[in-house]
Amino acid sequence: MRASEEQLRIWMIGGLDGDADAYTALLGALVPLLRSFFGRRLRGAADDVEDLVQETLMAIHARRGTYDRTRPFVAWVYAVARYKMIDQFRRTRPMVQIEGLEEILVAEGFEDACAARMDLDRLLGGLSPKQAKAIRDTKVDGLSVMEAAQAAGLSEADVKVSVHRGLKTLAARLRGQG
């Protein structure tokens, strides 16, 4: 599972304060995030993706002072990543083909998806771990009830009840918030 915004931010602040372990954890956790960010935009160019991931990591390191600790962290990372990608386009492809452009634009929805994932993490964090896991397995990751039950070592009925109760709690909470 991906590290949450909150976890990444804590690691980043640790890194800014000179904690090398937190910083290593942060950079490690950013790699999959950046790979999918670039992967969705540069379909099928694995070398380019890895180059961009590395360039972005170096830029994040060199310019980490520009992260404002009071602001969202992942948005800052994506801003650096997006700049690096545009810079790469400018340098290596003076013309971006119109077909490629379409894919780049479509992939822009990815950030919204990530933000949604963070909201989801936050919401599920308010449930009991068992309910959260049951919902995540069956409703987000797309496992069947049987698979989820086997993975968690529970009965199928148990998983169904957890999902049902968890969703009910979430619904009640969302209505309360709305």
Partner 1 sequence: MQTEDLIRALASDARPVPRHAVECRVGIGLASGGIVTLAAIAAALGFRPDLGVAMQAFPFWMKWAYTLSLGIGAIAATLHLARPDAARAPWLWLLALPFGLLLAAAVSELIRTPVDGWQRLWLGHSWTRCSMLVASLSVPLFVGLLWAFRRLAPTRLRLAGAMAGLASGACSATLYGLHCPEASATFVLTWYTLGMVLATLSGALIGPRFLRW
What residues line the site for partner 1 (CB under 8 A)?
A: 15-20, 23-24, 27-28, 31, 50, 53-54, 57-59, 61-69, 71-72, 75-76, 79-80, 82-83, 87
Considering the complex, state which of residue 69 and residue 173 has its C-beta at the smaller distance from partner 1. 69
Query: Can you give the C-alpha Rg of the chain in angstroms?
Result: 19
What is the secondary structure of 100-165 as a DSSP string?
HHHHHHHHTHHHHHHHHHHHHHHHHHTS-HHHHHHHIIIIIS---HHHHHHHHT--HHHHHHHHHH
Give 49-57 contacts, CB < 8 A, sequence gap 24+.
51/88, 52/81, 52/84, 52/85, 52/88, 55/84, 55/88, 56/80, 56/81, 56/84, 57/27, 57/30, 57/31
CA–CA dist 108, 37 (Å, integer)? 9
Considering the complex, state which of residue 75 and residue 151 has its C-beta at the smaller distance from partner 1. 75
CA max distance for the chain = 58
Output the smallest distance, CB 67 to partner 1, in A. 8
Considering the complex, state which of residue 73 and residue 170 has its C-beta at the smaller distance from partner 1. 73
Considering the complex, state which of residue 17 and residue 103 has its C-beta at the smaller distance from partner 1. 17
Considering the complex, state which of residue 52 and residue 149 has its C-beta at the smaller distance from partner 1. 52
Instruction: Read off the tokens for 35.
Output: 């790979």
